[in-house]
Amino acid sequence: MSRLKYTYAFWAICSLYNISFLLPLAFPPLILILGSYYLKFINFLLPVLICSGLITGLVLYLVKKVILRANMEATILGTLLINVSFLLLFVACAEVYKNYLIHEALAHHNPECVQINSFLSSLKHGGHDFNFKEHALFIERGKTFFWSYSELDFFEGSDGVSKNFPCKMSK
């Protein structure tokens, strides 16, 4: 049972990165209450969870094999290794998948300027509607388009919002 406590503590600490958005990591029963909010991201999260889960499963298999071969006892270090592996793989898979989706969406446009922020930046600012930070944007014919993880596509920003987000990188 101690491995479960270590796992819970690890994810509770990770939720501090953006407690308002990642709160269910610290208090898992909240996912039952807030589930409908997070469901809108399922089309993005599901492939990422499958990717990171499969690779973490392989890591778990290899770690157990090493532990059995060395006649060692699974400790907090093994539990920490699995959780850190999953977290790193989740972020890496999310970054790769996000970049793939954004580049696919951009193929249908002729942007003058493109700016893409990291997935970690999106996690840090997720749920902060009052302090909106773009995940990605591009400008085409004077109009600004913003990336949406829930829609997995770009949407056109209003003129009032768009002027606050100048594009910083050229294509």
Domain that holds residue 147: 108-162
Does 169 map to a domain? no
Per-residue CA distances from 44 to 13, 25, 32, 97, 132 (Å): 24, 18, 19, 8, 20
Alpha-carbon distance 124 to 133, whole Å?
Answer: 10
Return the H-helix or E-strand segment holding 163.
none
Question: Position 164: which residue type?
Answer: N
Q: Kindly state the average pLDDT of the residues 4-26.
A: 82
- Global pTM exceeds 0.85: no
Q: Six-digit token pair at 62?
A: 């290899």
- Dihedrals phi, psi of 151, to nearest 5 degrees: -95, -15
Rounded to 10 degrees, the C-alpha dihedral 138/143/147/148 comes to: 180
Q: Kindly state the average pLDDT of the residues 117-121.
A: 89
66 and 131 both lie in a single domain: no
Q: How many domains does the chain have?
A: 2
Does 167 map to a domain? no
pLDDT confidence tier of residue 170, bands split at 50, 70 and 90: very low
64 and 130 both lie in a single domain: no
Where among 76, 105, 134 does a domain terminate? Answer: 105
Does 168 map to a domain? no
Q: Kindly state the average pLDDT of the residues 107-130.
A: 82
Alpha-carbon distance 11 to 97, whole Å?
Answer: 22
101 and 120 both lie in a single domain: no
Model confidence at 55: pLDDT above 50: yes
